[in-house]
Structure 1
Amino acid sequence: MINKKQFIQMKKIHVLFTVILIFLTAISCSKLEEDPASALVSEQYYLNQDQAIAAVTGTYRKLYETGQSLYNSLLQIGVEMATDDYEAGPRARNAHVRALSNLTHDASNDRMEQLWKQSYDAINASNVNIAKISVLSASQIDPTLQQRLINEVKFLRALHYFNLVRWFGPVPLVTSPVESLSPQELYVAKATEDAVYGLIIADLKSASALPNYKYYSESDKGRATAGAAKSLLAKVYLTRGDWANAKLLAKEVIDKEGYALFQDFADVFNIGKKNGVEHIFSAQFKGNSGYQGNSLASRSAPADIPGINGDYADALHSEGGLYKSFAVNDKRLPVTFTTGMVSPTDNKYYALNKPQFSKYYDETVVGNQGQSSKNTPIIRYAEVLLIFAEAENELNGPTLEARNAINAVRRRAGIDEVSVMETKDAFRELVFEERRKELVYEYQRWFDLVRRGATYYVAKLKAAGKTNASARHIHFPTPQRELNLNPNLSQHPDWINR
């Protein structure tokens, strides 16, 4: 995604953002009335085009920069564990992760803290970029590139707020850089969900002016594009139940942005085809390179096969029935799961007690899966087809258009296509089950369950044997640490006195 020069520049801006975050964390529990003369953001950094590019590149890395950052396992252990498809594996030793898996978590859960903290760290980085790049002159940066970079970080800001509002409900809405220690900047009250969605939609409309993905050079692949912005906006509208706009945006992506399904499902996770025709926006990983490997590969890999050295911290929740829901001839099945592996140490085959996830297993780093170079899709073309199918069904029932969209996904999987269906309800469930199988281990299940509402979520989890599930679990509690630090925050009503 980035070349060596950009990487060096990016590391500099990353250090700057890290210093800001550490400083804010250090002072947030003390009462300071003074307004320091020195701003928290360096005025000496954003001086030219290269620095602007590096700063934005550094903001992308906040999606996946460490082994437990947002799109490098935190969404799995902090969100997906609370679904019917996943559970804490034998080597998931963190009590907070196990609490999420068992739905016994509360506001003191450290994964909640990290979801909140890392999201707002990334949002502040986006806000800094927008503010600083916007004021650069034409002598400092090409105006076309300037606007492109601003729209890229608006896309990233929208993505983070979209996650936050779905996880926590009303959240603070911060659109300017935190540059002082004043209470007005540090102690922000929650905005309504409508206000947060208003910013998300506005940011994504701006980002829709980005170039088509084919515009980018090889070194810049993986950046936000017009197709990424429109696809995410379609998903926002779908989440809000705005079926007309969801269909409109999905159709525009399908007809105009030039994406397609890979013929072979396995190619979605083929390192040689990263950022290809189906990949609309992905978390970028590159092991053994000074960048960052995909920790999902290690977290899901077997721990008891000689030479594999997996962590097996993310496990299939068998009672949920996900594995058994696949047709035996579904081509996605052997890509998504493994039921046994040959040891690279003794060349013997070892059968597993139950299926384990294998989408991100990297054959080039056997024995060191923490260095997997497989990307994690954040949104891909198959999902856009399913968004269109769902929205069309909600508007007009299971029409030919809706069936054609889902059948493209099913045809690639090698399973029977959908013929005429009688009811909207039946087709809705069919789409949800298709999403479930197509998007396994891609951070989608919790979002899909909760947007159907508390009754749906609770019924699914209890049917899977997670009997602690209750209506409050369609949101996460506001982290207790944030409540302690910010006197203007209040707990989500569903979590008061819990």
Structure 2
Amino acid sequence: MKKIVYVVLTGLLLSNILGCSKLTETPDSALVAEQFYLNEGQAVAAVTGTYRKLYESGQSLYNSLFQIGVEMATDDYEAGPRARNAHVRAISNLTHDASNDRMEQLWKQSYDAINASNVNIVQIEQMTAEQIAPETQIRLIREAKFLRALHYFNLLRWFGAVPLVTQPVETLTPEELYVSKASEDEVYGQIIADLEDASGLPNYQSYADNDKGRASSGAAKALLAKVYLTRADWTNARALAQDVIDNEGYALFPAFADVFDIEKKNGVEHIFSAQFQGNSGYQGNSLASRSAPADIPGINGDYADALHTEGGLYASFAATDQRLPITFTTGKTSPVDGKFYALTKPQFNKYYDQTVIGNQGQSSVNTPIIRYAELLLIYAEAENELNGATEAARNALNGVRSRAGVRLLDAGSSKDAFREAVFEERRKELVYEYQRWFDLVRRGATYYVAKLHAAGKNNAAARHVHFPTPQRELNLNPNLTQHPDWINH
């Protein structure tokens, strides 16, 4: 079997080590690339290792990098008192540029994960029936395509046109190293093709406990519905969302608190999540520590991610909204002295793990990437754009509102009013789940800038609906070009 050689792609050192583990556990060992793909167990381990690139320890993509590299540039978040990195504070203040190191990490880590998926697809396709059961072979290839599509979807939304690479990087030739950007339509075409193939994955209910959290047919269809929504393809977005609602077996948890209950992970509402298991190889959810109070004895939080109060998010919740005490905390009781400490302003609380009070860096609460509540809101938005605020659109929206315990939306809303109602519901339902920047920018530059200016972030400009192509990548790859909106900025 040919040895896989990983090389630099536009400044990215492509890792040649993947974790060998159950999806929700830290690997006990690692396998080097030339040992992979000799049997079914190794193929499973290779794909499992690629999932881990979503949420590895440190500032990995779904383990805080989204927050500090993207969400800070919205009306709802800001760099907290203990966010000392100048690059993070620049994003929060909308003064970032192409030299920002968080942009580099978004780019590098995404292409690292894409290359790992490319390797998995090519190598597993070459395995024989003696090495791997055909049904497992097909499933693993489809999982790898799902993950590749997810990363490309993020890259497109962040950077606009990006290089499209669908084969493993194996040589140091200029043809492989110096990849030009593909058009957005070309990359979206690949995303759609990958997700259509991944839609043939098993239903999530068929997975054994050790495999809970892997990509499923419902995850692929739901993500594809979101891709179509982002492209304003309302017909396909509604059709895919309806398919998931009717056929995949998801539902809302009875209580909003259940979504973030570590005993109910990968449950009926969790379509796809970043998996965390604290005290297991340092794979805790760092958002818990980043948002936890820093000045309460025994809590030991970092308070690096803060609510941007001028945006009005907290004030927008009804006092009776059941999401309010789960999403935010206004004070906590110290485990050291038993006293209650009130906070000067609300802080995020979704990922706070009561089982590790003094060490929130080891929180085992998963971060949802897409869940059923969002799928209902995707359906409601698409249906409204097609047919107005119909009963079907209202029912989908009101399913989310009913669970929250807030007033249901009555008949008679205009299309414009209902659109805003859906966006506000997304804002409240999906706080601190890496959704706000994407929602703002898909409404366009005028909408994004108006929202940020209204929140006092007056540096926001039209170019901020994309992030600049990292300068380091431009320096290393002569065939890359800067996004047009960021030239001379």
Q: Indicate whether the TM-score tops 0.5.
A: yes
Query: Quick one: distance in 1 between partners of 2:468 and 2:367?
Result: 27
2:124 equivalent in structure 1:
133
- 1:325 equivalent to 2:296? Answer no
Q: Tell me by how many angstroms 1:447 deviates.
A: 0.1
Any residues of structure 2 matched to 1:50-449 within 5 Å, and which? 50-290=41-281, 292-449=283-440
Does residue 459 of structure 2 align to residue 468 of structure 1? yes
CA shift in 2, pair 1:26/1:449, >3 Å: closer
CA deviations 1:462-486 (Å, max 9, x no partner) are 0000000000000000000000000
2:417 is matched by which residue type in structure 1? A
Cα deviation, residue 46, structure 1: 1.5
Counterpart residue type for residue 438 of structure 1: E
DSSP 3-state at the match of 2:343: strand
Which residue of 1 is the match for residue 481 of structure 2? 490
**Cα distance, 1:289 vs structure 2:** 1.6
In structure 1, what is the Cα distance between the partners aligned to 2:282 and 2:196?
Answer: 31
Q: How far does residue 44 in structure 1 lie from its aligned partner after superposition?
A: 3.9
Is this contact kept in 1: 2:329–2:349, CA < 8 A? yes
Residue aligning to 1:31:
none
Q: Taking structure 1 as reference, are residues 423 and 27 closer, same or farther at Cα in structure 2, changes over 3 Å only?
A: closer
| Aligned-pair CA distance for 1:149 | 0.1
The one-letter code sitting in structure 2 at the alignment partner of 1:145 is: T
Q: Does the C-alpha gap of structure 1 residues 21 and 378 become closer, same or farther in structure 2, counting only changes over 3 Å?
A: farther
Decide which moves more: 286-295 or 454-463. 286-295
Quick check: 1:62–1:69 contact (8 Å CA) kept in 2?
yes
CA positional deviation for 1:356: 0.1
Specify the SS of the correspondent of 2:459: coil
- Equivalents in 1 of 2:98, 2:8: separation in Å? 22
Return the offset for 1:22.
7.6
Give the whole-Å Cα distance in 1 for the aligned partners of 2:206 and 2:413: 43
> Which residue identity is paired with 2:125?
S
Deviation at 1:418, TM superposition (A): 0.5
Distance (whole Å) between structure 1 residues aligned to residue 487 and residue 255 of structure 2? 48
Deviation at 1:67, TM superposition (A): 2.1
Q: Deviations over 1:150-176 (max 9, x none)?
A: 000100000000000000000000000
Instruction: Mark the runs of 5 or more structure 1 residues left unpaired by the alignment.
Output: 1-15, 29-40
**Deviations, residues 393-436 of structure 1 (Å, cap 9, x unaligned):** 00000000000000000000000101113310000000000000
- The answer to whether the 8 A contact 1:82-1:446 is kept is yes
Q: How does 1:443-462 map to 2 (within 5 A)?
A: 443-462=434-453
Residue 10 of structure 1 is matched in structure 2 by none
**Inter-CA distance 291–149: structure 2 relative to 1 (3 Å threshold):** farther
Shift, 1:359, TM fit: 0.2
Identity of aligned residues (%): 78
Report the residue type matching 2:124 in the other structure.
Answer: I
Residue pair 2:7, 2:171 contacting (<8 A) in 1 also: no
Deviation string 1:97-125 (CA, Å, 9 cap, x unpaired) is 00000000000000000000000000000
Q: Structure 2: which amino acid aligns with 1:274?
A: K
Alignment check: 8 A CA contact 1:269 1:374 kept:
yes
SS of 1:71 mapped into structure 2: helix
The unaligned stretches of length 5 or more in structure 2 are 15-31
Q: 1 CA distance for matches of 2:229 and 2:33?
A: 40
What is the Cα deviation at residue 193 of structure 1?
0.3
Q: Deviation string for 1:443-477 (max 9, x for gaps)?
A: 00000000000000000000000000000000000
Contact persistence 1:67–1:294 (CA under 8 A):
no
Partners of 1:221 and 1:453 in 2: CA distance: 37
Structure 2 residue matching 1:307: 3-state secondary structure: coil
CA distance in 1, matches of 2:446, 2:284: 38
Count of matched residue pairs: 470
Kindly state the Cα deviation for residue 24 of structure 1 after the two structures are TM-superposed: 8.5
Provide the secondary structure at the position in 2 that maps to 1:422: coil
Note the C-alpha offset of 1:290.
1.9
The question of whether the paired residues in 2 share the 8 Å contact of 1:231 and 1:249 is answered with yes
Cα distance between partner residues in 1 of 2:400 and 2:329: 22
> Could you tell me whether the CA contact under 8 Å between 2:11 and 2:473 is conserved in 1?
no
